[in-house]
Structure 1
Amino acid sequence: MTHSTNNAAASVQPKSGLDTLLSKLPYMNRTPVVAVVRLEGVIGKGGVGRRGLTLDSVAPQLRQAFSLRGVAAVALEINSPGGSPVQSDLIATRIRALSEEKGVPVFAFCEDAAASGGYWLACAADEIHAMPGSIVGSIGVVSAGFGFVDAIGKLGIERRVHTAGTEKAILDPFQPEKKADLEILKRIQVDLHDQFKTWIEKRRTGKLTDARDLFTGAFWTGREAVGLGLVDGLGDCRSVMRARFGDKTRFRSFSKPKSRIQRLIGLGGDQKIGDLADAAMDRLEERIYWQKIGL
């Protein structure tokens, strides 16, 4: 199969099952409409200022997109470095449920990144497309933190922790790391990783080239991802959808409301110092996620 960045959409060979579904849609005798849902940012609740991607925040837009009269397909524009595995699973599950309920195919389009939880979301689609320079993959689980044991000692601070339950205060950053605590953490990470792999294998059945190498947590460019079977082709949303449904295809966008940090940046002057500080901290947290994949 040949994939070209100039005419990538036309080179993609769709699944036969998807073609069958498309042929039965009611839009065939009218101008096709593609509902576009934007899934952008870190996945999860976030802090005070940032409203991340959660099922609660995107469910209304998903429902409206799949319920759009005469909709030919739903396109997911994904730009996310990942985040909460639970929210990734919830959103992806809702997308699949709506697609099957409404009989509407789903296409995913990776922008800067569809990494970790972002790729989990992409796999909810029947087809995945990316730009040549998109970052795709990062199929793994990570947990990071800091240890302050020596720091509080130098400051003359005594740490006091009282629990009912021997494992209630595991991984306390102010206490020395314990082997038993790490074993608990590792058990959870292995289980989450297994859930992630199972989802990818289910959604990309027959397409992945070498699953052993793809599940290490590594990530690739969109162009590399085509050869690995992580994505189906290269191209942006409008060009791919028009190649599939015709030049007269119309697009209807559905986006979640702006987060508090976005409103703060937009409004400026009359905001409290505390609000701006919260927004700055949330922005820093978000940057950490993006830097994990070099962006």
Structure 2
Amino acid sequence: MSSDKWTEGSLLGSEQAQKDADNGKAWALIERTMLASIQEQRRARRWGIFFKILVFVYLFGAIALFSPLLSVGASASLEPHTAVIELRGPIADQQEASADNLITSLREAFENEGTRAVVLRINSPGGSPVQSGYVYDEIVRLRGLYPDTKLYAVITDLGASGAYYIAAAADEIYADKASLVGSIGVTAASFGFVETLDKLGVERRIYASGEHKTFLDPFQPEKPEEVEFWQGVLSTVHQQFIDQVKAGRGDRLKEHPGMFSGLIWSGEQALDLGLIDGFASTSEVARDIVGAEELVDFTHHESAFERFARQIGASMGSTLATHIGLSAPLLR
């Protein structure tokens, strides 16, 4: 009887061991299956990321490669024509009317063998004296290199401040009788929040090295000597503006007490003052003065790739200047 029980126990033990072994194999199989699935998912994600990056690089590579080709159509024209360059909007770095864009356009226009003259078509309120000065100097240089290629400025709605600064470098300036021309002056503006802070019970804390390092801080009272200094800076830039206008326009300018006061004039008044040479549109200049009626646009247009690069590369200096209330003078 005991022998039968022992045999039965052995059989039960063997069956249990077999079941445990089978369960172990099943779990091992499940584990391997799950690991394989996870590895496959990881592989799929890696390949997905790889292909997305590949497509991204391909698209932007194509944009970078073909964008220049899209912009050379105008400059490739060798037939006699009048080159047109648009100066539109505020004159500032990283803007459509930046010195880099305008100078690139000017060089391509002057260098083209089919160009009979260049028309700078202006509709701008002005902007940076530095950017305007760069363009002015480049126009003078190119006119010296290509003495047979005239440059005409044509002011449409507005040619003020830094825009007129640039126009003064042209051989001749034309506008409409109702155009707004001039505004030969310099301005820099800010705000003062000293009393506002006092009313709010806010204490301003600023730490700087240098006696006048914070002289433009809008949260501190102005000091007479610092105001005088800043006015001197603006007056210096203003005189530079005046000198360039006089150099460009010469004896065509008429004596007038308000000429360089920052006032803006109608085209009709500007003609009487010698600020412009006549009334004409771009087409009229090309047809009646240049004698090459075909207009070819040489304006440098920012490519999608350049625009993307500019957007993600925002200027830290500009952001910092905004926070501390410091901005460069503007020609107005």
* TM-score using structure 2 length: 0.65
Query: Which residue in the other structure is 1:72 paired with?
Result: 116
- Contact 1:79–1:112 (CA<8 Å) still a contact in 2? yes
User: Hey, what does 1:93 align to over in structure 2?
Assistant: 137
Contact 1:35 1:68 (8 Å CA) reproduced: no
Q: CA deviation at 1:256?
A: 2.8
Distance 2:79 2:127 in 1: 38
Letter in 1 for 2:92: G
CA contact (8 A) 2:132 2:163 kept: yes
1:36 to 84, 87, 92: 84
Task: In structure 2, give the amino acid aligned to 1:45.
Answer: D
Deviations 1:121-154 (A, max 9, x none): 1111000000111110001111111111122233
| TM superposition shift of 1:217 | 0.7
SS of 1:56's equivalent in the other structure is: helix
Separation in 2, partners of 1:245, 1:168: 53
Map of 2:230 onto structure 1: 185
Structure 2 counterpart of 1:113, from 142, 158, 162: 158
Higher helix share: 2
Question: In 2, distance between residues paired with 1:216 and 1:84?
Answer: 18
Query: Secondary structure at the residue paired with 1:128?
Result: strand
In structure 2, C-alpha distance between the alignment counterparts of 1:100 and 1:139, rounded to whole Å: 26
The residue that corresponds to 1:56 in the other structure is 100
Moved more, 142-151 or 186-195: 142-151
Q: Determine helix, strand or coil for the equivalent of 2:295.
A: strand
2:294 aligned to which of 219, 233, 250: 250
1:129 alignment partner AA: Y
Secondary structure in 2 aligned to 1:214? coil
Give the drift of 1:258.
Answer: 4.9
| Residues 55 and 87 in structure 1, CA contact (< 8 A), matched pair in contact too | yes
Structure 1 residue 157: Cα displacement: 2.2
Q: Does residue 170 in structure 1 map to residue 218 in structure 2?
A: no
The aligned counterpart of 2:246 is 201
Percent of paired sites with the same residue? 40
**Alignment pair present for 1:212 and 2:257:** yes
Deviation at 1:95, TM superposition (A): 1.4
Greater length-normalized contact order (CA 8 Å, ≥ 6 residues apart): 1
* CA positional deviation for 1:68: 1.2
Is this contact kept in 2: 1:171–1:178, CA < 8 A?
no
Give the count of matched residue pairs.
231
* Post-superposition CA distance 1:209-244 (Å, at most 9, x none): 115320111110111101110000001011122011
Contact 1:31/1:249 (CA < 8 Å) preserved in 2?
no
Q: Note the residue ranges of structure 2 that are not aligned, 5 or more in a row.
A: 1-77, 309-330
Amino acid at match of 1:100: G
Contact 2:180 2:266 in 1 (8 A): yes
Runs of 4+ in 1 over 4 A off after TM superposition: none
Question: For the residues of structure 1 that align with 2:89 and 2:302, how far apart are their CA atoms?
Answer: 11
For the 8 Å contact 2:83–2:109, the answer to whether it is kept is yes
Cα distance in 2 for partners of 1:178, 1:102 equals 51
Distance in 1 separating the partners of 2:163 and 2:88: 9
d(CA) in 2 for partners of 1:227 and 1:99? 26
Contact 1:32 1:245 in 2 (8 A): no
Classify the secondary structure of the residue corresponding to 1:205.
helix
Q: Secondary structure at the match of 2:257?
A: helix
Alignment match, 2:321: none
The residue type equivalent to 2:275 in the other structure is L
Asked if the contact 2:96/2:302 (under 8 Å) is kept, the reply is no
Aligned counterparts, 1:10-49, within 5 A: 32-45=80-93
Change (3 A) 1:259 1:137: farther
- 1:159–1:174 contact (8 Å) kept in structure 2: yes
Larger radius of gyration: 2
Q: Say whether 1:230 aligns with 2:275.
A: yes
What is the SS of the residue equivalent to 1:182?
helix
